[in-house]
């Protein structure tokens, strides 16, 4: 066994490249690379990935946790890999949206004595919450801290698509620019056009505000619920513009999603991924959109039928798309069963990346980025902190925070976080107490 012992900050950290005794006992153990903090800690918490910042580690260690971080050079861990990490004694796991958290993993965690899991993500379509309920495992997520960062990427993609920034950049780098021309990379003006938002929750509403306020676009949105605060904001901003002698902005709550698709010039998708939003944008719906419309997806890949999208992009060169997330390509996928199988079971959607549908990468009218919408330093460190505190809160028997949309008290680096789990999605099902702090 190769062991390096390193003093790091005020805690002890070990690195080794062979299984710990717990891992050796795991049924399908493989050699894994682990970094250990506070080896003598009472509670064993595993993180399936190194996460940004160190506050999340400090907070766990201060509360008597031994923290084990998987440093294996493999982007997406398999169920077997994670079973090996869980071993025979594990109090909680911090996992990633790329992992399949279903019956197998929750039963393994439960067998190891664990009752706490948190995704380092707000979306938890990769988690079978019913299975977690069955084994009494609390499931945490990380809302709120990534709202603005994700909305900013959706806004960036909207601008990049409207003004053809990626195409123009490639043109410059290829040495093709030989002087200003009236027709060179002519795109769309956003001001006065209509922005459509599907799923006006936290991120959808933040994006809508950016586009309305920043570019004076009118808003049309579709959601299962009324976005009252967003409506009030646009009304007030419209009144302000009018009082300043400018054209006021307007808003409309659409009765159907199709209304948004028909009317909007830029459409951004921000719903959760579940059986009601799977392939929400399909061939028929793409054909309803304006020929020069812009479609942005920073939610989850399977919200769009990407085979239909590639065909639509080919047929409509002025239609543009900005994608941060992707559907799995069956041909290349490590998973072989058809998507209809997933829908019928409708348990959870565990894998939608990293593959692109054939033809997408060649489309000039598509901008593609690798699921980076939440990738600002503040947000990613905050996500790590919230995920760690979700797990810690359950281990310590703390109540659940009363409002998962207001997580700021957990993110203040200058004070101790509240003694609560910031966001547990199955708190009600497990009958967990709610914090009155
Ligand atoms: N690309 C990325 O890096 C990121 C992606 N996300 C994705 O964005 C999603 C939304 O995040 P939040 O805004 O924080 O969640 P949220 O829960 O605040 O908003 C989701 C909204 O979708 C609406 N919705 C649900 N089903 C719908 C349907 N069938 N039709 C129309 N609207 C529907 C809900 O009513 C809700 O208002 C996450 O679940 C995640 O999948 C989130 C963060 C980063
Ligand atoms: O939080 C999420 O849901 C993500 O997609 C990560 O950015």
Q: Convert the pLDDT of each residue in 204-221 to its tens digit.
A: 999 999 999 999 999 999
d(CA 319, CA 309): 10
First to last CA, the chain: 48
Residue 103 CA to ligand 2 centre (angstroms): 22
Q: So what's the pLDDT on residue 2?
A: 28
Q: Count other Cβ atoms within 10 Å, centred on residue 329.
A: 16
Q: Which ligand 2 atom minimizes the distance to the CA of 325? A: 5
19: pLDDT confidence band, cut at 50, 70 and 90? very low
> What is the predicted pLDDT for the residue at 349?
63
Which ligand is closest to the CA of 405, given by its number?
1
Strand pairing partners for 362?
none
pLDDT tens-place string over residues 219-240: 999 999 999 999 999 999 999 9
SS (H, E, C) 120-171: CCCCCCCECHHHHHHCCCEEECCCCCCHHHHHHHHHHHHHHHHCCHHHHHHH
Q: Measured between alpha carbons, how far is 221 from 215 in angstroms, rounded to an integer?
A: 17
Report residue 32's pLDDT band, with 50, 70 and 90 as the boundaries. Answer: confident
Q: Do 303 and 281 meet the contact criterion of CB atoms below 8 Å apart?
A: yes
Count Cβ neighbours within 10 Å for each residue of 40-59 and write b for 16 or more, e otherwise: ebebbbbbbbebbbebbbbb
Distance CA 368, CA 301 (A): 12
Backbone angles phi, psi at 268, to 5 degrees: -120, 135
- When the pLDDT of each residue in the chain is averaged and rounded to a whole number, the result is 90
Quickly state the pLDDT bin for 437 (edges 50, 70, 90).
Answer: confident
Say how far apart CA 152 and CA 356 lie, in whole Å. Answer: 23
Give the pLDDT band (50/70/90) at residue 364. Answer: very high
Distance (Å) from CA 383 to ligand 2 centroid: 9
Look-up of token digits 């380092």: 120
- Rounded distance, CA 34 to CA 11, Å? 16
Residue range 368-382: mean pLDDT, rounded: 98
Confidence band for 6, pLDDT divided at 50, 70 and 90: very low
With beta carbons less than 8 A apart as the criterion, state whether 137 and 115 touch: yes
Phi, psi dihedral angles at 60 (to 5 degrees):
-70, -45
Query: What span, in angstroms and rounded, lies between the C-alpha atoms of 107 and 33?
Result: 23
- Asked if 311 and 303 touch (Cβ cutoff 8 Å), the reply is no
Note the pLDDT of residue 350: 54
Per-residue confidence (pLDDT) for residue 335, from 0 to 100: 38
Work out the pLDDT band at 352, boundaries 50, 70, 90. low
pLDDT tens-digit map of 292-310: 999 999 999 999 999 999 9
Q: Across residues 59-76, what is the average pLDDT?
A: 96
324: Cβ below 6 Å to ligand 1? yes
**ipTM of predicted complex:** 0.99
* Residues 106-152 pLDDT 10s: 999 999 999 999 999 999 999 999 999 999 999 999 999 999 999 99
Report residue 31's pLDDT band, with 50, 70 and 90 as the boundaries. Answer: low
Q: What percent of the chain has pLDDT over 90?
A: 85
Contact status, residue 197 vs residue 207, Cβ threshold 8 Å: yes
Contact of 162 with 292, CB cutoff 8 Å: no
- Is-catalytic flag, 353? yes
Q: How far is CA 287 from the centre of its chain?
A: 28
pLDDT of 328: 67
Give yes or no for residue 91 having a pLDDT over 70. Answer: yes
Residue range 323-352: mean pLDDT, rounded:
53
Question: 258 falls in which pLDDT band (50, 70, 90)?
Answer: very high
pLDDT band at 355 (very low <50, low <70, confident <90, very high): confident
Q: Which mutation among 323, 374, 422 tests ligand 2's pocket best, with the greatest number of atoms within 8 A of CB?
A: 374
Do residues 48 and 96 make contact, with C-beta atoms less than 8 angstroms apart?
Answer: yes
Task: Read off the pTM.
Answer: 0.92
- Specify the residue for token string 């009018």: 242
Query: Does the active-site annotation cover 371?
Result: yes
* Nearest bound ligand to the CA of residue 224: 1
Contact 120, 388 (CB under 8 A): no
pLDDT for res 303: 97
Catalytic residue among 285, 300, 320, 380: 300
pLDDT of residue 348: 66
- Tokens describing residue 390: 């979700």
Model pLDDT for residues 146-180, shown as the tens digit of each residue = 999 999 999 999 999 999 999 999 999 999 999 99
Query: Does 123 contact ligand 2 (Cβ within 6 A)?
Result: yes
Q: Which residues of 235-262 are buried (b: 16+ CB within 10 A; e: fewer)?
A: eebbeeeeeeeeebbebbbbeebebbbb
Of ligand 2's atoms, which has the minimum distance to the CA of residue 121? 1
Q: Which of 97, 119, 122, 202 to mutate to test the pocket of ligand 1 (most atoms within 8 A of CB)?
A: 122
Q: 40 CA distance to ligand 1 centroid (A)?
A: 40
- Burial letters 110-125, b for 16+ CB under 10 A, else e: bebebbbbbbbbbbbb
Q: What is the pLDDT of residue 8?
A: 39
CA gap 315, 295 in Å, rounded: 15
Q: In angstroms, rounded to a whole number, what is the distance separating the alpha carbons of residues 78 and 197?
A: 35
- SS3 for 38-106, per residue? CCCCCEEEEECCCCCCCHHHHHHHHCCEEEEEECCCCCCCCHHHHHHHHCCCCCEEEECCCCCECHHHH
Among residues 358, 353, 333, the alpha carbon closest in space to that of 75 is found at 353
pLDDT band of 30, cuts 50, 70, 90: low
The reported pLDDT for the residue numbered 85 is 97
Tokens 């980025």: give the residue: 369
In the structure, what pLDDT confidence band is assigned to residue 354 with cuts at 50, 70 and 90? confident
Instruction: For residue 303, report the distance from its CA to the centre of ligand 2, in Å.
Output: 14
């Amino acid at each position: 066994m190769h062991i390096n012992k390193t003093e790091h900050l005020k805690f002890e950290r070990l690195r080794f490249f062979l299984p710990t005794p717990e891992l050796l006992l795991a049924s399908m153990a493989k050699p894994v690379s682990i970094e250990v903090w506070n080896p003598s800690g009472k509670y064993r918490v595993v993180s399936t990935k190194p996460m940004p910042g160190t506050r999340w580690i400090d907070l766990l260690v201060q509360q008597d946790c031994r923290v084990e971080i998987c440093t294996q050079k493999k982007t997406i861990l398999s169920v077997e890999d994670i079973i090996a990490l869980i071993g025979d004694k594990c109090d909680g796991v911090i996992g990633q949206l790329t992992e399949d958290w279903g019956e197998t993993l929750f039963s393994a965690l439960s067998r190891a004595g664990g009752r706490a899991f948190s995704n380092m993500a707000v979306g938890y379509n990769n988690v079978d919450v019913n299975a977690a309920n069955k084994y009494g495992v609390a499931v945490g997520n990380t809302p709120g801290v990534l709202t603005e960062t994700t909305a900013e990427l959706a806004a960036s993609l909207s601008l990049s698509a409207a003004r053809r920034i990626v195409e123009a950049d490639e043109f410059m780098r290829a040495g093709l620019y030989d002087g200003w021309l009236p027709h060179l990379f002519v795109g769309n003006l956003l001001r006065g056009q209509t922005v459509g938002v599907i799923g006006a929750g936290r991120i959808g509403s933040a994006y809508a505000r950016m586009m309305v306020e920043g570019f004076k676009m009118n808003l049309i949105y579709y959601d299962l619920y009324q976005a009252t605060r967003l409506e009030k904001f646009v009304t007030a901003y419209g009144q302000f513009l009018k009082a300043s002698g400018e054209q006021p902005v307007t808003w409309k709550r659409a009765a159907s999603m199709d209304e948004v698709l028909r009317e909007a010039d830029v459409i951004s998708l921000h719903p959760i991924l579940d059986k009601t939003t799977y392939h929400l944008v399909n061939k028929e719906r793409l054909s309803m959109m304006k020929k020069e419309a812009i479609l942005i997806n920073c939610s989850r890949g399977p919200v769009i039928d990407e085979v239909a999208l590639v065909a639509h992009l080919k047929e409509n060169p002025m239609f543009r798309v900005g994608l941060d997330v992707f559907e799995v390509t069956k041909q290349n996928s490590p998973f072989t069963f058809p998507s209809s199988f997933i829908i019928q079971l409708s348990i959870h959607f565990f894998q939608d990346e990293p593959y692109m549908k054939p033809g997408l990468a060649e489309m000039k009218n598509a901008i593609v980025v690798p699921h980076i919408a939440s990738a600002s330093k503040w947000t990613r460190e905050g996500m790590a902190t919230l995920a760690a505190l979700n797990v810690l809160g359950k281990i310590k028997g703390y109540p659940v925070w009363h409002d998962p949309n207001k997580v700021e008290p957990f993110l203040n680096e200058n004070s101790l976080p509240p003694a609560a789990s910031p966001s547990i999605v199955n708190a009600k099902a497990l009958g967990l107490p709610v914090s009155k702090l």
